[in-house]
Homo-oligomer: A and B are copies of this chain.
Amino acid sequence: MDDAKDFVSTCPVPLSDYNRILLAHGGGGTLMHRLLAQVFYPAFANAILDQQGDGAILSLGGSRLAFTTDSYVVSPLFFPGGDIGTLAVNGTVNDLAMCGARPLYLSAGFIIEEGLPVETLCRVVESMRLSAGAAHVQFVTGDTKVVEKGKGDGLFINTAGIGAIEHDLPIQPRNVKLGDVILLNGDIGRHGLAIMATREGLAFDSDIKSDCAPLADLVLALLDAGIEIHCLRDLTRGGLASGIVEIAATAGVHIHLEERAIPVRDDVRGACEILGFDPLYVANEGRFVVFLPEQDASRALDILRTQVDTEGAACIGSVTDGCPGMVTMTTAIGSRRIVDMLSGEQLPRIC
């Protein structure tokens, strides 16, 4: 449920000002955090939920487990670089990885709209099979529901996942420390643009594909190398900016970013300029940040750069003295600005 609780004080509009749910309540930004903080957290409050990681860390029979869930409502179902099936596997696998866990088991809950071609379902299931194999996880339980035509939108998928935590590090936002550096595993903004281009029938000159990928192997490689990871966060809805603001708020630290250090492909930057998007807020499905002590940064970067598509991994900022909960950035032209969480809804239903 992300980092809602500590963020609520900075939300400008109380939930009660809206009496109906808006698209932005699912957008990963300010309104979603307010919904979590005002409706879900108070009802379900407990010490585990209060960890506010990408998943829950559970102690069970002497073992530590990670447990997480996501529903996938992406539109359209198929897009360059993936489909709802690859998202449904990698999204949940990555949330487990962000807990520092080895992903093991997934559940699958299908909500199908009456009239969906069986062939479409089969294509998605085949993607899920391949993605699960690549991420070394098994589907072990599931559920299928069908709703009347006009009461759904083709196919929604929920996956929940269980992973094993095989180390003793307390990887979570509150473990972020003054002086930590922030590493990012590659260029940002491709997933959101790939969805947008498909949805709107835009043809970019270049070939922008989703970055959707499983991240557990990278995280486990960092852990195996003895890197002292303090916090991990994948950069999905709300993009890099929202993820960093969440962590600054939960950890109560000031985070400073260097815009020049954040890799953005030229074609992505160009498309963002045309569409009026800021790449900092565009969703990714294969990008994450690592908070760790500076002395481990160089070794960690070498490891982060070993995967296909992660050669652009870079150090993009650090945790500094300043205003707790604030994120600032030195821009490409050398000025300094405050980075806020995504406000409103930039691109609905990108995952």
Q: Chain B residues near A138: list those with CB within 8 A.
A: 44, 46, 48-49
Q: Is there contact, CB below 8 Å, between B114 and A23?
A: yes
Contact of A140 among B58, B114, B148, B349 (CB under 8 A): B58
Q: Which of A40-67 contact B (CB under 8 A)?
A: 40, 43-44, 46, 48-49, 55-56, 58, 60-63, 65, 67
The 5 closest A-B pairs by CB, nearest first: A61-B63, A26-B146, A160-B160, A69-B107, A56-B140
0/1 interface trace, chain A 106-149, chain B, CB 8 Å (1 if under): 01111111111111011001101100100000111111111110
Contact of A21 among B1, B16, B75, B146 (CB under 8 A): B146
Interface-lining segment among A31-39, A240-248, A289-297, A323-331 = A31-39
Q: Is there contact, CB below 8 Å, between A60 and B164?
A: yes
Q: Is there contact, CB below 8 Å, between A67 and B107?
A: yes
Known: A20-B116, A25-B112. A126 touches B61 (CB 8 A): no
Q: Is there contact, CB below 8 Å, between B23 and A56?
A: no
Interface-lining segment among A151-159, A217-225, A227-235, A256-264 = A151-159
CA distance A102 to B61 in the complex (A): 13
Q: What number of A residues sit within 8 Å (CB to CB) of B?
A: 83
Chain B minimum-CB-distance residue to A53: B141
Q: Chain B residues near A252: list those with CB within 8 A.
A: none
Q: Chain B residues near A172: list those with CB within 8 A.
A: none
Q: Is there contact, CB below 8 Å, between A39 and B125?
A: yes
CA distance A105 to B122 in the complex (A): 31
Q: List 29 A-B contacts (CB under 8 A).
A: A1-B141, A19-B117, A19-B119, A21-B121, A23-B114, A23-B148, A24-B146, A32-B144, A39-B121, A39-B122, A39-B125, A40-B108, A40-B142, A44-B125, A44-B132, A44-B139, A49-B139, A55-B141, A60-B60, A63-B63, A65-B162, A69-B160, A70-B109, A71-B109, A73-B145, A107-B160, A146-B348, A152-B153, A158-B158
Contact of A36 among B58, B71, B144, B148 (CB under 8 A): B144
* From A55, A65, A115, residue with most partner B Cβ within 10 Å: A65
Rounded to whole Å, the gap between the CB of A157 and the closest CB of chain B is 9
Q: Chain B residues near A49: list those with CB within 8 A.
A: 138-141
Q: Chain B residues near A43: list those with CB within 8 A.
A: 125-126, 128-129
Q: Is A303 an interface residue (CB 8 A)?
A: no
CA distance A139 to B116 in the complex (A): 32
Q: Is A22 an interface residue (CB 8 A)?
A: yes
Q: Chain B residues near A108: list those with CB within 8 A.
A: 40, 44, 69
Q: Is there contact, CB below 8 Å, between B19 and A111?
A: no
CA distance A73 to B110 in the complex (A): 11
CA distance A144 to B112 in the complex (A): 18
Contact of A109 among B46, B48, B69, B116 (CB under 8 A): B69
